[in-house]
Amino acid sequence: MSTTLQDIADRVAPVLATSTNEKSLKIDCGADGIMVLDRQEVAMEDRPAECTIKISLENLKKLLKGQLNPMTGVMMGKMKVSGNPSAAMELAKFLK
């Protein structure tokens, strides 16, 4: 079974909904879609966010499984981070 961006969003949404998160993070997987973690909700539409991570869905899956180190991913060009990286670091805990 192949994991989609929607599958990841469905897993994250209940945890994020009960959080006190005040940050926003956009994960742009190109043709595979966009997921925005925005305070206590997950949106599957493009909207402004404090930080944007551009990454392929395959590399996102590797990142979530611990098979891709974030720093290595950035240095190797497998992901690009723009905006406030502290928002990405804070919201990363909801993606595990």
Tokens of 92: 């990363």
**Chain segment 44-88, per-residue pLDDT in tens:** 999 999 999 999 999 999 999 999 999 999 999 999 999 999 999
Whole-angstrom CA distances from 32 to 1, 65, 72, 89, 93 are 16, 18, 22, 23, 22
Q: Give me the domain span that covers residue 44.
A: 5-95
pLDDT confidence bin for 1, thresholds 50/70/90: low
Assess contact for 29 and 3: CB atoms under 8 A: no
Q: How far is CA 86 from the centre of its chain?
A: 13
> What is the predicted pLDDT for the residue at 18?
95
Q: What's 37's DSSP letter? A: E
Q: What is the mean pLDDT of the chain?
A: 94
- Number of folded domains in the chain? 1
Euclidean distance between CA atoms 50 and 38, whole angstroms: 9
**pLDDT over threshold 80, residue 34:** yes
> What is the predicted pLDDT for the residue at 45?
96
